[in-house]
Structure 1
Amino acid sequence: MPAADDAEHINNINILDNNPNLYLNKTLNKTEDKEDNMLNLKLNNYTNSNNNNCGNDNTINPAFIEENIINGVDDIAISDILNSMDEAVIITNNENKILFCNNYFTINFSISLNNCLNRNIKEISFFKYLFSDDLIVPSEIRDLASGYKVTNIHEIDNKNHYFENDRIPIYDHSGETKGIIYLIRDITKEIKFEQKLNILAKTDSLSGLYNSRYFYEELEKEIARCARYDCDLVLMFIDIDNFKMFNDTFSHKAGDEIIKFTAASLNNSVRKKIDVICRYGGDEFVAILPNTDANRSTIVANRILNYFNNGFNDKLKNIIGEIKEKENDSINVAENNKINIDSHLERNSNNIFDNKKISLSIGISEYKNGKKAKELINEADGAMYKAKQQNGGRFYIYK
């Protein structure tokens, strides 16, 4: 026990589940007279009927608990402490009947105290999410230990909340289990923050697509699946033609808009929740197409090219419109070299640099014969450069 001059105003509540008794200890230090006061409230001898600690069914008597926890130092009762906690506290007996629940539980789960006490814990709607169909029996209670946690989802106000449940066995003086203390914490904020971090870790911030790290993970998974089940798989490597020239001409901010537009072109041309689209880096993108062979991949490739080509000019109008608000109708490409924007818009063409157009080149490789991820990537990359050599704006299948 700490001395008075070693600790001032210490309040410590310990639940010792390894002790045959359940102790709720409140250590108080009074600095005025340097006297130590220790209050040991022992919830024990439950089976001693002479002390009226139990009911006829050999269960914890709620009246006994209330009687024994109210006397204390400075009129602070254990029930007051439990009702002040920022988490739910529920106490049950071996028959799963609720003997106590604190204010946090009744308020946050919209259930009155009268509807809780002496009811089987599984009759309370919240606990239906927490337990399996089998009730906890005394033999299982013995196996529980402090720190055993279960995370579950419960809906409050039409929103999913995540809860962590810590179960602590209650022992009597002979070491027999008499019930369980449930500590239930709302960990929704922590879970959502963790989910947000996970999303950020695998997402490219500019395009909103998955990043290269996620791409490598998914490609390995798909290759392993194909090797096991002998299924089709196609990898696409996509690059924006003449992007550097566009970027240098219209500014990096305008280039960012083209990156986003390319991402939208890909997203709107593939199967949702099946195909995986990622930004590989810079102006390069990759697409993993499960259960797709080379022939069917040409349909997807044409869809991507058409979406990009049909929407590019409108996107460029928006980009140029923003630039024209700040600058003249012409934008300097280099010294003594200008592009006439209005003339370009009238032509309604992607050819804004003489015969060089802004388009997409797509390389396609197909999984077969136990290929590794690196092989697939190199083949798709090589096929993409073949498409570029033919002036871009097309796809090429690796042969």
Structure 2
Amino acid sequence: MTDRGAERAAEPDHGQPASSAADRARQAFAEAFGGQPEGIWAAPGRVNVIGEHTDYNEGFVLPVALPHTTRAAVARRDDGLVALVSAQHPGDRVEVPVTELAPGRPDGWAGYPAGVVDALRDRVPGGVSVLVDGDVPAGMGLSSSAALSCSVALALRDLAAPELAVADLVDVARRAENDFVGAPTGILDQSASLLCTAGHALFLDTRDRGSEQVPLDLRAAGLELLVVDTGTTHDHATGGYGDRRRECEQATERLGVRALRDVPDVAALTPLDDGTPEGSVLLRRARHIVTENARVLEVVRILRGTADPAAIGPVLTAGHASLRDDFEISTVELDTAVATALEAGAAGARMVGGGFGGSAVVLVDAGRTETVARAITDRFAQQGFPAPRAFAVVPSAGARRLA
């Protein structure tokens, strides 16, 4: 794989008219700060076609960028303050001196942009004003936090650190989540937000960061990718995500390999099966990673070839079974959405994201999209679950400057 197209993905989207979203961000910035921003940047959320929890195990992933973005209107200051305002959190204005930024100060949504500023504090000693506005649904497993971090990282790169490469921005945004906010993510979300291109899935090797833009025109094949929000939210900074990462690290240590990426096949996992409950858990966790890497490679092989893209459907469904049974991060709502979609004729379906809530993704014939969505809604009502929300997505552009 190569990294062709990586730098282009972060360039301004020249030739496109100023969007109403950018206009709203500019107006909101003026209302909040009494002046105009130096620019407006956007970064998308992502949905992962296949490859869950493989990124921090140095494996393979295959995300696409969503059309949904977070916009950041940004201007430098000269009073040493970091001033943060979010259209999604009205009335929650945050101001912290650059010199006092530290993990947990500030916390909540403001921790993500603050963590980016902290990583680049030497470049903006006078501080910055940041207004963020976005439509990436939060808590759905669609990387709203990465969209927030990456939009601000790209802004600060353009304003104060033009020598930084996209790979550097991935690291800045990841450190903001890992070290400042305390969410133990890998590089999948940030890489997808910064590197994806329209009409393609990003095949990324998270070990050497080689990437390939794999064409993914599902609509030309009469297919759609349907995201189903189950209404159950999650938070990477708490809960079981960190537990799964630690379990993978324990399995890696017991197997004597650098990362679970280096385990050649499931048979090589037998040393973990020592008859203890802990060994059984580690075996299942590692088995998911090994088989998930193989599933990513299989999906890429199918998409590179001439086969019907619907052939990836069973691979997606197998991925859900692995996340449910071996990684144990699904929920009854996610399992219900997947099972119902398949019963209604979907080609494949699986949960997406870090788990313990969030969304499922469904590959379906375009003519059956409404039927599948209605079947899931009806089943949720029968089970007494909150009403789900479903929407079709197309592979969209990565982070870019809007104005």
TM-score range relative to shorter protein: under 0.3
TM-score where L is the length of structure 2: 0.21
Q: Could you say which structure has the higher helix fraction?
A: 2
TM-score where L is the length of structure 1: 0.21
Higher Cα radius of gyration:
1
